[in-house]
Chains A and B, each alone.
Chain A
């Protein structure tokens, strides 16, 4: 089992749709969780940290389920500018940071 796994994608959704990305991790002692977005041929950029109680930033909501070792990212009211690859990132108890393979999103007019 890979250390961090994500939905294989790609996701093609119309503008205004709600889309959810899922991520699972194998190390139950993992301590920090993040979502990054990476535009084509660009560097990854931090989208948001994921907190145990869940957190929201505008149209984006991140949730963590430690019991199931599962992280999610929900994007509401999708915009064309949301088209990118979304990377799930996990930091383990040994301070090892693992990037998931990413899920590609295309928002279609």
Chain B
């Protein structure tokens, strides 16, 4: 069966520090991968998605970036965090267009 792993679960970082969140999927190949953010009390906002190694599409201009160095690995990064980057970051994958997402357990990021 397929599983998705995301870490760390919780992160407190100072403003201006770098960020790296990692997500891996097991039990499938060539998944579509996604990074979402959910601000406190808000809906889910799509940040990036990837349909293959090295292919990244950005939905929202910001100081975040994503990379997909391996088929089942998706990384979210920032060189310098802002206070507004605080939120609940969720990695997700899906089999295909007609399937729902499976989310990782999320990373709760607080920028102080």
Contacts and interface: CB of A to CB of B under 8 A. Distances in A.
Interface of A: 31-32, 34, 36, 41-46, 49, 87, 89, 91, 95, 97, 99-102
19 contacts: A31-B98, A34-B100, A36-B100, A42-B106, A43-B103, A43-B106, A44-B90, A44-B101, A46-B100, A46-B102, A49-B100, A87-B44, A91-B97, A91-B98, A95-B97, A97-B46, A99-B44, A101-B42, A102-B43
B90 A43 contact: yes
- Interface size classification for chain B: 10 to 19
A89 B104 CA distance: 17
A32 B97 contact: yes
Given A41-B108, A43-B90, A32 B43 contact: no
Q: Is chain A's binding surface mostly helix, strand, loop or mixed?
A: strand
Nearest to A101: B43
B43 A100 contact: yes
Given A34-B100, A41-B88, A102-B43, 9 more contacts: A42-B106, A43-B106, A44-B90, A46-B100, A87-B44, A91-B98, A97-B46, A99-B44, A101-B42
